[in-house]
Structure 1
Amino acid sequence: MSGRVVVGYHGGATGRDALAFGTQWAVTSGDTMVVVTVHPGAAPAGLARVDAEWAAYERSAAQDLIDEAKGLVDPSIGAEYHRVDAGSAAHGLSDLVEPDSDDRSLLVLGSRRDRKMRRTFPGSTAERLLHGTAAPVVVVPWGYGHVEKKRLERVAVAFVDTPDGQVAFAHAVRIAQHLGASLTVLTVVPDTRVVPGLGESRQFSSEQRKGYQASLDAVLATAPAGLAVSGRVLDGPVVDALGDLSLDDYDLLVVGSRSYGPVRRVLLGGVSSRVVRHAKVPVVVAPRGD
């Protein structure tokens, strides 16, 4: 991976959280940090047109946000700042990160403060981008702007031996290599409530865990030489196990998209959609088939 870390900024604590993670990524990776605000452009002439005064007001408000962001980012980062005209924030950000070369972008968004715990919780813009944008999307927990850590050194990936799990692992490997970070592959043994009609339930649970461990060992064996990689088997429920990971454990968690739909698009599946609403660490959702 190389290229840009694109931070969607619309002010407030959510914006500061996204800026904090974007700064950490830029410092660790050397990628260019691009801070973006989106405002509506003028509509075509007609009954629904936006008048010139309102359009000017929106541009001015967007510029105020850019100026605000500049005051929050260390000048040594060398960040770029852009105002984008678009019908919606999701549209403007998605167009900005559409791939047109070998360059790669990472899109960073903050969480809305919908609860009293510091967890990820995507707002409306993030929800739309998590269902179709081309670039990997990072959802940052609210309150992350107070994190003092300067570098990203510990990457984790949620792995299950499926096509989307393999894609998530491959993407996490590239992230860890790009950041010069360690990688921990996490596999979660589900909290299975259904027990076979024949045989002893404890034995079934043991065999199930052995199967997950075997899949974990197999994927660890494919990791490139020189990467500091390890594995952990966690006990389910899956969303609870991944949602309880904290910044004391890892700096970010990579999850995959669902296994069907357009390739090279972020497409949240059932587990990843719940993880991205409950995580205590930044969550990177990898595009399908990346």
Structure 2
Amino acid sequence: MTSTYVVGWSPFHRDSGAVELACRLARSTGARLHVLSVMPSGWGGIGRRDPEAAEREGERAVEEARRHLDAAGIDGDVVASTARSVPQALLDAVEETQAVAIFLGSGSEAPIGRIDVSSKAGRLLHSSPVPVALAPRGYRVRRGENAGLERVTCAFRDEASSHTALERAEILADAACVPLRVVTFGVEPRRMIPTEVSGDAQMVLDEWRVQAGRALDEAIAGLDRVVHSGDVFIGRTWDEALHETDWQEGDLLVVGSSSTSPIAQVFLGSSATKIVRHSPVPVAVVPR
């Protein structure tokens, strides 16, 4: 049975990163795309454009998305709808199409090449029963229309959500017939101690690296395939940690999150969020 990806396409924001990313994965997995452009139901109210203009905006968004799919040679449909909640409309589409993932772009506030977790994306990261893939702003496939996924990298921590993410990453890598890389990212603790005892902080960091590496090795040993890495990367900042390793144009980073706890307490402010915001490649967030 062919899998389906739901792709959120904003009628206002013309960044095509979500469609570009979905097309890349679809080329490797054979998935079909369901592109949905959702117009907020109150958009044509007082002080805003009229309903007819809103309808024309939706039609234009559909035409643009359709051109992207046709140019990429990817099978799928493009739909425009009106809803009070954009995240809920996307979740409804997941249920209706039995989709296995949602694809989103980044807002205009994000720097080019970076991911912005907007309020709408945050709601989906909290409530989606399927992985949510986030494309950096301005994301493009530069190697021609036949370019597919080239490697899956899983950011691993020794916790339940990371083990779930690793399982999903392995399944995706197998489906796409691409290498799987499993790594751990960490940040050095701020040194709030006198210089004469700063060696203690280094000892703590070294011990953490050993424990993280041991957990990483154990997780990799439980996989049914060859893994191309198993390294721990530590930097003074999350940005530095993520740039300690090499990245390819066709990479996808997979991280784990929780879909069962309040987002303000679990996802926002967590290491997963920091990894997402500083990742130089698209990220798929897997719910527990």
Q: TM-score, normalised by structure 1?
A: 0.80
Residues 56-94 of structure 1: per-residue CA shift (max 9 Å, x gap)? 443332122101211222353122111233112222112
Amino acid in the other structure paired with 2:120? T
For 1:242 and 1:170, locate their aligned partners in 2 and report how far apart those are by CA, in whole Å: 23
Equivalent position of 1:26 in the other structure: 26
Residues 242 and 69 from structure 1, CA distance in 2 versus in 1: closer, same or farther, beyond 3 angstroms? farther
Amino acid in the other structure paired with 1:72? H
Amino acid in the other structure paired with 1:151? G
User: How many percent of aligned residue pairs carry the same amino acid?
Assistant: 30
Equivalent position of 1:174 in the other structure: 171
Residues 283 and 67 from structure 1, CA distance in 2 versus in 1: closer, same or farther, beyond 3 angstroms? same
The more displaced of 57-66 and 253-262 is 253-262
Equivalent position of 1:148 in the other structure: 143
Residues 37 and 191 from structure 1, CA distance in 2 versus in 1: closer, same or farther, beyond 3 angstroms? same
Instruction: Work out whether 1:106 is the aligned partner of 2:101.
Output: yes
For 2:274 and 2:200, locate their aligned partners in 1 and report how far apart those are by CA, in whole Å: 32
SS in structure 1 at match of 2:211: helix
Residues 161-197 of structure 1: per-residue CA shift (max 9 Å, x gap)? 11112112112112212222211111134413578x8
Structure 1 alignment gaps of length 5 or more: none
CA contact (8 A) 1:5 1:25 kept: no
CA contact (8 A) 2:125 2:259 kept: no
Equivalent position of 1:191 in the other structure: 188
For 1:200 and 1:242, locate their aligned partners in 2 and report how far apart those are by CA, in whole Å: 21
Residues 230-258 of structure 1: per-residue CA shift (max 9 Å, x gap)? 31211135732554366437611111114
Equivalent position of 1:5 in the other structure: 5
Residues 139-180 of structure 1: per-residue CA shift (max 9 Å, x gap)? 111121263361112111110111112112112112212222
Please tell me the root mean square deviation across aligned C-alpha atoms, in Å.
3.4
Instruction: Work out whether 1:239 is the aligned partner of 2:217.
Output: no
CA contact (8 A) 2:115 2:135 kept: yes
For 1:204 and 1:147, locate their aligned partners in 2 and report how far apart those are by CA, in whole Å: 43
Equivalent position of 1:211 in the other structure: 211
For 1:111 and 1:42, locate their aligned partners in 2 and report how far apart those are by CA, in whole Å: 23
Instruction: Work out whether 1:123 is the aligned partner of 2:122.
Output: no
Amino acid in the other structure paired with 1:256? G
Equivalent position of 2:87 in the other structure: 90
For 1:278 and 1:168, locate their aligned partners in 2 and report how far apart those are by CA, in whole Å: 19
CA contact (8 A) 2:148 2:250 kept: no
For 1:61 and 1:207, locate their aligned partners in 2 and report how far apart those are by CA, in whole Å: 56
TM superposition shift of 1:208 = 2.7
SS in structure 2 at match of 1:280: coil
For 1:146 and 1:233, locate their aligned partners in 2 and report how far apart those are by CA, in whole Å: 29
For 2:189 and 2:224, locate their aligned partners in 1 and report how far apart those are by CA, in whole Å: 33
Q: TM-score, normalised by structure 2?
A: 0.81
Residues 195-253 of structure 1: per-residue CA shift (max 9 Å, x gap)? 8x8x955544433322221111101101114x554312111357325543664376111
SS in structure 1 at match of 2:277: coil
For 1:57 and 1:117, locate their aligned partners in 2 and report how far apart those are by CA, in whole Å: 29
SS in structure 2 at match of 1:38: strand
Runs of 4+ that moved beyond 6 A? none
For 2:176 and 2:140, locate their aligned partners in 1 and report how far apart those are by CA, in whole Å: 20
